[in-house]
Structure 1
Amino acid sequence: MKLEIRRYRPSDKDTVFTLFSIGIKEHIRPCFHKAMTSPLYLAITLALCVAGYLLSSVLGAVVLPAVWVGFVYYCSYKLYADYVRERLRTDMQDIPGNYLSRPDDCFWVVEAEVDGRVQIMGMVAVMAKQSGKEKYGELFRMIISPLCRRMGLGFRMAQIVVDFCKERGFSKVVLETSSTQTAAVALYEKLGFCHILSHTKTEDFFFLFLFSELFSQVRLGQGSCRKT
């Protein structure tokens, strides 16, 4: 498959939106699985089984945990669905204005010919950031279509961002990714990124949502950086 990485064009908007939505929502199931296999959530599930049995019967021992599991999945879904909705409403709504209007920012897409049709199979963006006198780049919106995975495309896209930042004299490249994205973490480590910071665990999001619905204001993921 011949792949071409080029700058974003306004005509790419609908396809980019679809790819972004699909790519982000792929993390719902790993997020749910990670939460449900954690010691805390396993303990809650077991406690609900016992409580349901004691309060009702065998049926209660099944229903109460099932409701809990369904709720956790709903929270996993809402976490990522709300993120997609917010991003498409804000920075992604005007990609030329937010990612292409300044010389130190950029947004790329990956084109490939599939069944005789040229299709967008990936995207990645970078924005210049300033911290005191230090100027660095932040990698955003890395999404690859399932049809183009395991082909080295992620490496090429991330390398384009690194090379772009080198050309502009940035001191480093930083990014955030969730701990459920094990393939992405492995890719960034291969490129020379190092893990520097862990944010709130996934479980904490569910409790924030359960009690106050403020979880969307907390950042999930792990920061990485690469010196240029």
Structure 2
Amino acid sequence: MRHRDQETPGVTMSDYNIRLYKDSDYELARELFTRGMIEHYPMAFRLALRHPRSWLSLLVIFLGSFLISGSVILSILVLTIALIVLLICSRYVYSSYVDHCLSHDMLDIRKYYLQRDGRCFWVAESGGIVVGTVAAVPSSNPRGEKHTELKRLTVARSHRGKGIAKALCRTVIDFASQRGCEAVVLETSLPQIDAWKLYEKMGFWQTHAICLPSFTERLAYVMELFYRYDIPITS
């Protein structure tokens, strides 16, 4: 893989090519991002169900319904409704995030990422079709250090397992290195298992994790993970 910055040509690797975003990529980039985020809510739901607090809450709901109604069937119905609410909350966490991003940085990708210093947006193209995206922005919380934040990494399901996500990550790392940054940072969530496993294999390390603050996020027990990759110092 040849390193490149914003002025150099795209990088070709086997059957895909990483290049700068173009306006003609707009709809596909937004669609890839939307699908890539929404697909995580089933895992979020399963992880929520495994949480001890969920089991306790569901048990209390079932027993409380039974004590009030004296009906096992009605209690099961109430429990089913509670599970549906939990599923809806798990989906809402990701759909609301998608809605926010589509009306924020993904609303005008060129203006937000390509016309501002320290930012960039790339796509992975295969067979003339955009199959992946990634972006870079200056970190909003550098803590006295020069960091670049990796954002909007997604790869179409049909093209996973081909090294595209790793190449997109490496593109951001190279971009940050060329700008003299000390580290690449990112945020992801616990249900995005493939993502944080990829980051860890590439040398990112988890700095901390927090439970998200909103009611639906607490109800679904969605945890946000923070990672950092230290860029080697070259003489």
- 1:222 and 2:233 equivalent? no
User: Which residue of 19, 23, 30 corresponds with 1:6?
Assistant: 19
- 1:186 and 2:200 equivalent? no
Quick one: structure 1 residues 200 and 33, their matched pair in 2 at CA, closer, same or farther if it must change by over 3 Å?
same
Superposed CA offset, 1:43-96 (max 9, x none): 111222222222221112211111111111111111111111111011110111
Listed as ranges, the gaps of 5+ residues in structure 2 are 1-13
Residue of structure 1 equivalent to 2:135:
125
- 1:80 and 2:81 equivalent? no
When normalised by structure 1's length, the TM-score is 0.88
Contact 2:150–2:172 under 8 Å retained in 1:
yes
Residue of structure 1 equivalent to 2:174:
163
Q: Report deviation, 1:209.
A: 6.9
| More displaced stretch, 28-37 vs 122-131 | 122-131
Quick one: structure 1 residues 58 and 221, their matched pair in 2 at CA, closer, same or farther if it must change by over 3 Å?
same
Listed as ranges, the gaps of 5+ residues in structure 1 are none
Quick one: structure 1 residues 145 and 207, their matched pair in 2 at CA, closer, same or farther if it must change by over 3 Å?
closer
Q: Report deviation, 1:102.
A: 2.8
Residue of structure 2 equivalent to 1:206:
216
User: Which residue of 33, 42, 67 corresponds with 1:54?
Assistant: 67
* Structure with the bigger percentage of helix: 1
Q: Work out the CA distance in 2 between the residues paired with 1:166 and 1:208.
A: 37
> Matched residue of 1:93: which SS?
coil
Q: Report deviation, 1:107.
A: 0.3
Residue of structure 1 equivalent to 2:28:
15
Q: Report deviation, 1:129.
A: 3.2
Q: Work out the CA distance in 2 between the residues paired with 1:169 and 1:6.
A: 21
Quick one: structure 1 residues 38 and 133, their matched pair in 2 at CA, closer, same or farther if it must change by over 3 Å?
closer
Q: Work out the CA distance in 2 between the residues paired with 1:98 and 1:136.
A: 18
Q: Work out the CA distance in 2 between the residues paired with 1:28 and 1:173.
A: 26
Residue of structure 2 equivalent to 1:68:
82
When normalised by structure 2's length, the TM-score is 0.85
Matched residue count? 216
Amino acid at match of 1:192: G
Q: Report deviation, 1:207.
A: 7.0
Residue of structure 1 equivalent to 2:5:
none
User: Which residue of 129, 141, 148 corresponds with 1:137?
Assistant: 148
Quick one: structure 1 residues 91 and 24, their matched pair in 2 at CA, closer, same or farther if it must change by over 3 Å?
same
**Following superposition of structure 1 onto structure 2, how do residues 25-40 of structure 1 map, counting pairs within 5 Å?**
25-40=38-53
Structure 1 vs Structure 2: percent identity of aligned residues? 31
- 1:172 and 2:205 equivalent? no
Q: Report deviation, 1:201.
A: 5.6
Q: Report deviation, 1:133.
A: 5.1
